[in-house]
Amino acid sequence: MSAKAISEQTGKEFLFKYINTSAAVMNRFRYANVTPETDWNRLTQDHPWLLTERLVVKPDQLIKRRGKLGLVGINLDLQGVKEWLKGHFMKETTVGRAKGVLKNFLIEPFVPHTQDEEFYLCIYATREGDQVLFHHEGGVEVGDVDSKAQRLTVAVDDKLSDAQVKEQLLTHVPDDKKDVLASFIVGLFNLYEDLYFTYLEINPLVLTKDGVYVLDMAAKIDATADFICKAKWGDVEFPPPFGREAYPEEAYIADLDAKSGASLKLTLLNPQGRIWTMVAGGGASVVYSDTICDLGGVDELANYGEYSGAPSEQQTYDYAKTILSLMTREKHPQGKVLIIGGSIANFTNVAATFKGIVRAIKDYQGPLKEHEVSIFVRRGGPNYQEGLRVMGEVGKTTGIPIYVFGTETHMTAIVGMALGHRPIPNLPPVAAHTANFLLNANNSAVTPATTRTASFSEPKTTNDVTPPKRSKAGLPPESLHSLLWPLKNVVTGVWKEAQASSGCSRAKATTLFSKHTKAIVWGMQTRAVQGMLDFDYVCSRDQPSVAAIVYPFTGDHKQKFYWGHKEILLPVYKNMADAMKKHPEVDVMISFASLRSAYDSTLEAMQYPQVHTIAIIAEGIPEAQTRKLIKIADEKGVTIIGPATVGGIKPGCFKIGNTGGMLDNILASKLYRPGSVAYVSRSGGMSNELNNIISRTTDGVYEGVAIGGDRYPGTTFMDHVLRYQDTPGIKMIVVLGEIGGTDEYRICQGIREGRITKPVVCWCIGTCATMFASEVQFGHAGACAHQASETAVAKNQALREAGAYVPKSFDELGDVIKTVYDELVAKGTIIPAQEVPPPTVPMDYSWARELGLIRKPASFMTSICDERGQELIYAGMAITEVFKEEMGIGGVLGLLWFQRRLPRYACQFIEMCLMVTADHGPAVSGAHNTIVCARAGKDLISSLTSGLLTIGDRFGGALDAAAKQFSKAFDSGMLPMEFVNKMKKDGKLIMGIGHRVKSINNPDMRVQILKDFVKQHFPSNQLLDYALEVEKITTSKKPNLILNVDGFIGVAFVDLLRTCGGFTRDEADEFVEIGALNGIFVLGRSMGFIGHYLDQKRLKQGLYRHPWDDISYVLPEHMSM
């Protein structure tokens, strides 16, 4: 969502901080906030003016017309404010149809003034620019300001001047007040622009001899501009509409949404309700809510929400468990239903998201059965068959009634089933996987040279359902006209005048795409590009539609893709200028740039006259930036599709990015060849649903565009409807409108004036909004009605009155489309053509593996760590648990080396071993090598490696060898003396025995420390005792033949592995055999080597050269013949 309401206090804080005006703005920052947590003593300390001035108190909870509702206490002292609050504070109040508790109040100084000092001022955003409304009479009785206020339009990117304000807005204001008001209004407008407001109303604005007072204020800001305005905004809180509480679960989902590239939304409407939804897609979520309300479920609808944009399995799990937790808190006498619905996904892996939902269902299976929850599932898209299968399986294994349906079932049919309005059919099992669509049904390996270009209709199938007649029900004409008053400037005049007034300097193309269209893709979106190439191939295009990729984060290079069966290389450019210069045939740019960079990259693309169409995929671009792009595009004759869109598709010719989904859906919906029906929608997911509906009820899609869910899409419904009207191959038009905005009224006007003559089937989603007590912001940023004329109900009625074919609900949309299509076929307007099978396209290996169609041995196997989920796993233990249990380095080493959670004493012993082996001075070979390398100017890794390469039997590598020798002798039953004698006889050194410096008389304190710990904590230390007996024998011969630190750690570790209870004898011996113990020395000594490297760098030591006098030069004597 973009435009979000802020509290009056937040709005005034922005104004007082950042307004730049010569007018004296009074009472800056003089407000006090009262909540249930307020300490009045502290409040009066922070705001001492509360004790001395007359005051005003009012709720600050997004309530309109507070004065008329008696919710403002005026001209009170502090005690009077407290008395007034007793009658209102924490009391339930009804405002319109919304009931809520008053719990947030604002206290401000009372401003004595006369009626003629009150004014009304409002600034709000429209597509063409910002409207400034001013009326010389403000206050509670201001009335219908839209009809009587002075109005000034500031075009996009234009500035407002004092002269304009005086001339057009202040005509009824006394001359002595004009300068001050003009300066304030211009300053306020600049603030409005700089801080990305979308709505700012002050009523009344009071001007006295002292200065300007902002009494009451309402405002909305563009929340998507947070990345631009964060420094000035700070952490903004967006309060919920009055009548709806702010639930912690909503905040939790909002936090998940903020941390994710996907879209996750949740609004609780009635937590006690029995109908819960978990819907994929912004448009689909609205359609499901509409259908529930149409079927009488509005009072039982518990929530509105959506998940979309390919959330991960973990994200879907977190979202689903939140829903399940909420719906299993209170029982309902009729039980509860959960509707897991969605349109046909374009790119989301349905199976992956469903696995997250399945995990949540398993976790909550007890409460779900206890609350008698039935679950109804309908979904389509990539790998949806596997998703439906796992969903059906969990129903069988848990005993929860779960009914699953795929694309063969109308999207909203499950709502009627869930609410008992239609029977639940017994469907045959669906195909096992997506790959069925990729098999050529005619058993021919030959790729057709071309596909047909005429329209096509499948053979008629019998259908017992009689298509319903178009409904005449709706609002009476007189009510409709009263809703349309704000649109008089929008829909008056002929279309040529409207187009001329938009200031287009270049005419936009009627045909956006053909079989020869070439595009540049901005962003390294290899999956989307491959999807476009597969579509091109199945449409029998001669060449790929993608000419090049622009990716600023790498150098120029080539990227490999598939063209049918063969591999091809596409150029990737760092700079757009190079791409445009080398590919002059390109006229389309598809931008996958992020919301932060989409504006700049689109501006750059419009500098090149060759570009006629730009698709902007990103969601969350600030509206002010979008409006600037629209203005420039209109001037240059560029068609923009988006932002916040999946794109568009022209069957047989071209598709944008992920539009139409994967190849299986392209083939199922017959998008590889043109039909006779064109559509335009806002929603990307719903556009794919339209592909499905149209392919099942007509000869297919000719062209389809999703203009995007933002308030100001780059192109409007009417732009595309007029293109379709002027395209001979299109015989009928389908429009899926939406609550919010007024663009559908242009279609009404076009039909009335005869500009649109082709049949138009239209339905506006969001009809449920008028049934909710409080305002609900739906999934799309633009899906919110700001006035009665923007409601879906009003627009559907207007379209019906104008002559469009409007069904009674979305449920009947397919029936109406079929009825209109059949009429056109009967008239001969559409002549069905023969189908030609498309060429086959091989399936990608990665997708075949995802579907479980193939298997191959893995190149690697691992059993110690898994980084694929939301949380890192060490040997089955989540990283959060590792820290919660305070396992330390020893515990982590136990998990990663031994796949065991070792006892605490074992972890401590490992850490002690690392500490005592960390370093042994600069003279040993490893440290020496590291120092020489460091002084030669090598980097840390090279220097460390140089030192580590010296570790072996002679230096530091005796741990394994000592463990093996002593274990073998002990296990074979040799006495210590026998072991010593045998090693001497064999001429072998006893590893771990002997030290250059230390002796029996000068013991190694490292060994002593470890020995004391082992003796105190180890349950058994038989091998250590054996080694100490050997030490007694060797030291009797020579005092420095002691058990050194390597030998001690080796034998003690064998005792640890054998006696800690975590390993079998064979497992313990295997760890010794594979060299695990030497790893202790390597890991510990690495710390010392790194220390020596840093020490040499810190001391700035130069290149080391060994001195001559420390080298004995022994050369052969001179020999002569």
**Beta strand 654-655 with 613-616: parallel, antiparallel or unpaired?**
unpaired
Question: Maximum Cα–Cα distance for the chain, whole Å?
Answer: 128
> Phi first, then psi: what are they for 841, rounded to 5°?
-125, 130
Cα separation of 642 and 33, whole Å? 41
Whether residue 671 contacts residue 646, with contact meaning beta carbons closer than 8 Å, is answered with no
CB 671 within 8 A of CB 391: no
Judge whether 395 and 355 are in contact, CB under 8 Å: no
Q: Do residues 760 and 721 make contact, with C-beta atoms less than 8 angstroms apart?
A: yes
Q: What is the 3-state secondary structure (H, E, C) of 512-573?
A: CCCCCCCEEEECCCHHHHHHHHHHHHHCCCCCCCEEEEECCCCCCEEEEEEECCEEEEEEEE
Residues of 411-439 as b/e, b for ≥16 C-beta within 10 angstroms?
Answer: bbbbbbbbbeeeebeeeeebeebbbeebe
Residue 735, Cβ neighbours under 10 Å: how many?
25
- DSSP three-state, residue 127: coil
What is the Cα–Cα distance from 56 to 161, expressed in whole angstroms? Answer: 34
φ and ψ at residue 155, rounded to 5 degrees = -60, 155
Q: Which residue type sits at 741?
A: G
The structure tokens 């065991």 sit at 900
Residue 30 structure tokens = 């003089």
Q: How far does Cα 402 stand from its chain's mean position?
A: 28
Concatenated DSSP letters of 1081-1118: HHHHHHHHHHHHHHHHHHTT-------GGGS----PPP
Could you count the other beta carbons within 10 Å of the beta carbon of residue 148?
Answer: 14
Residues in CB range of 490: below 8 A, 6 or more apart: 742, 745, 746
Q: What is the separation of C-alpha 1100 from the centre of its chain, rounded to a whole number of angstroms?
A: 49
Give the dihedral sign, CA 34/39/44/50: positive
Question: Are 300 and 773 within 8 A, CB to CB?
Answer: no
| Cα→Cα distances 522→144, 518, 643, Å | 48, 13, 14
- Residues linked to residue 58 through DSSP beta bridges, in sequence order: 106
Residues with catalytic roles: 780
Burial class of residue 501 (count of CB atoms within 10 Å of its CB; 0-12, 13-18, 19+) = exposed
Query: Are 606 and 633 spatial neighbours (Cβ–Cβ below 8 Å)?
Result: yes
**Tokens 């006779």 found at:** 676
Whose structure tokens read 């002690």?
Answer: 912
Facing residues of 336 across strands?
373
